[in-house]
Each structure stands twice: as C-alpha cells, then as structure tokens.
Amino acid sequence: MTRRAAYLDLTHQELEEKIQEGLKRLQSCAMCPRGCAVDRLEGETGFCQTGRLSRLASFQLHFGEESPLVGENGSGTIFFAGCNLGCLFCQNFDISHRAKDSPEVLPEQLAEAMLELQRKGALNINLVSPSHVVPQILEGLALAAASGLRLPIVYNCGGYEEVQTLQLLEGVIDIYMPDLKLADPVNAKKYCLAEDYPKKARLAVMEMQRQVGDLELDSAGIARRGLMIRHLLMPSGLAGSAEWFEFLSTEISKNTYLNIMDQYHPCGQARRYPELDRTVTRAECEEAVKTAKDYGLARLDRRDQRSLRDLFRLL
C-alpha cells in the first residue's frame, strides 16, 4: 500500500498550532541559525531578505531531481527566493542572493501553486530553499490540504537549519533532502558566510533522521518517506566529503540514500577565488565514490550523470 502523506494525519487544530508557533518565531526572527531577530511580521528583513510573505521565484515540474523523486511525471518543485546561506558559489545565485527580484505571494497563491502541480501530475511537492519561510509554507499547505492536496512534501534545503524549526515540521514533511556542503568551519565562513554551518548541519540531519528515518520507496521505486542526502563535490576537496561520509556512516545510517553531485561549476562570485574557479575532475569524482564505499555508503543515486555514471561500477 502507498504511504499516505504525513500532513494528512494532522488535525486542523494541530496544523494551526504549528502555524501560530512559526509566526511567533518570525516576530523576532529565529527561524534559522542566523537569529537575525528582526520583526518579519512587520515586514522587516534580515539575511534572507524576506519579510512576512514568502517570495516565489518559480514553480514547475522538474525532471532533473533524484530518480526516486521524478519517476515519469516529474517532481513538483517550488523555488523560494532568498536563502539563509550566502554561498559565493551558489548554482542558483540570482534567486538566492536577490530575493527582492521575485514577487511576494499570499498563502492562497502558494496553495494554488501546490494544487496546480498536483493537477499536472507531480509526484510530490518539492520545496526548494524553504528554511527561511517555514511558517509561510505551513499556511499555504493548510489551505492546499483543505482543497484536496494529497502529495508527499519534500524539504529540499541547504542544511543550515535550526532544530527547533525542524521540530515544527514533524508530522508535516515526508522527505527531507539537505545538501551537505562544507565540513570545515573556516571554509564555511569564507564561502558560505556561516562558520557554524558544519555543526548546525549535523544537528539538523540527526533531527531529520529521527523524524523520518531511512528513505522508503514504493513498489515503483518512488520515494514516499525518509531522508535523502545531497553532497555537492567541490574542487580540491573543499567540501570535506570524507568527513561528511564518516558522519553519515557512523551517526546517521549506512543505509542513507546519498546523491554525490558532480555538477559544480563556477557561479556567482566563485571566479574571484582561484580555488573555486574550475569544475571538479573525474579523479575527484572517482575518489569521492570510493570513499563513500569505504564508509559503507552504497545506496547512491544512480542518475545518468556525465562523469559519475560509469563510476558506480566501482560499487
């Protein structure tokens, strides 16, 4: 039997309590580890450049996600503008760093985007860069569910999360998908403006695993519930892949679903830094896959990626 989306088991009152708690946290914003403490309910903005309403960059069926999210119909991605990270190499730099170029949307508009993606046949609602707009997402989701939304929810984030905010999402999110970035605090500060990123990301992944466990697939190989990890390889080992793989193996689960991503290319302000101003090499990709295997992580995403597609023969 196909697993029912988690939020459908919440009562209206339970969901409303989550919304109100989230809105309270916006008043002196503590949604993420930045702790900007601005009053977003009054339209003030902090690091994420987002006030009371979320800003929507785009929504569409997406076929470039991990295979268990896409199937034949595609993943229903909703791209929020703004971000709580300041990655100088961001692959979506314009969206994440220039939030105010995207329009604010009411909860009703967000709900309608979810419902439209469902009507188009999406397998899930894939929330991209959601960390700074959790209460707004909950408001939209409550309206969408009341109007017939039934799809599982994917929380597709950069990993820079506050555990207390994630706890608000327990019983709401079906699939957590953080992208583990830089394992070294010095590099995290330099390239993502977040020295505490490694610590916060580890705590966040532990909470996500506690809530949803290892990834569960249905009989068609489609993701229904669980944790999926992304890891973007970077030139010269700057991402600290071995450290992340050791963490996943020893503190999360050797059965963790892992996507080792090789598509890094210099974006945003990356070309200002010689060490970031190139793509990753085949040798670096090969070493990452081998290291994952050495740590017992063999449940790797097998999309047809250019330089990685042949490397899975190592496993």
Asked if residue 311 has pLDDT above 80, the reply is no
pLDDT for position 306: 41
pLDDT for position 43: 94
Residues 6+ apart with CB under 8 A from 17: none
List, for residues 202-252, the tens digit of each pLDDT value.
999 999 999 999 999 999 999 999 999 999 999 999 999 999 999 999 999
Q: Confidence band (pLDDT; 50, 70, 90) for 3?
A: confident
For residue 280, with 0-12 CB atoms within 10 Å meaning exposed, 13-18 middle and 19 or more buried, which class applies? Answer: buried
| Residue 283 CA: distances (Å) to CA of 35, 286, 299 | 40, 5, 21
Please check whether residue 291 is in contact with residue 241, taking contact to mean a CB–CB distance below 8 angstroms.
yes
Q: Confidence band (pLDDT; 50, 70, 90) for 260?
A: very high
pLDDT for position 302: 77
Task: Name the phi and psi angles at 175, rounded to 5.
Answer: -130, 120
Q: For CA atoms 249, 170, 74, 56, give the dihedral sign.
A: negative
Asked if residue 94 has pLDDT above 50, the reply is yes
List, for residues 69-88, the tens digit of each pLDDT value.
999 999 999 999 999 999 99
- % of the chain exceeding 70 in pLDDT: 95
Task: Name the phi and psi angles at 304, rounded to 5.
Answer: -80, 80
**How large is the average pLDDT for residues 97-109?**
89
Of 55, 63, 148, whose CA–CA distance to 110 is shortest? 55
Task: Name the phi and psi angles at 6, rounded to 5.
Answer: -60, -45
- Assigned CATH class of 6-314: alpha beta
* DSSP states of 63-111: SSS-HHHHTTT-EEEEEES--S---TT-TTHHHHH-GGGS-EE-HHHHH
Q: For CA atoms 280, 285, 286, 290, give the dihedral sign.
A: positive
| CA atoms of 140 and 52, how far apart (whole Å) | 13
Q: How many Cβ atoms are within 10 Å of 270's Cβ, its own excluded?
A: 23
The overall average pLDDT reported for the chain is 93
pLDDT for position 204: 98
| CA atoms of 51 and 39, how far apart (whole Å) | 8
List, for residues 114-138, the tens digit of each pLDDT value.
999 999 999 999 999 999 999 999 9
What are the sequence ranges of the domains in the chain? 6-314
List, for residues 183-211, the tens digit of each pLDDT value.
999 999 999 999 999 999 999 999 999 99
Asked if residue 172 has pLDDT above 50, the reply is yes
pLDDT for position 303: 61
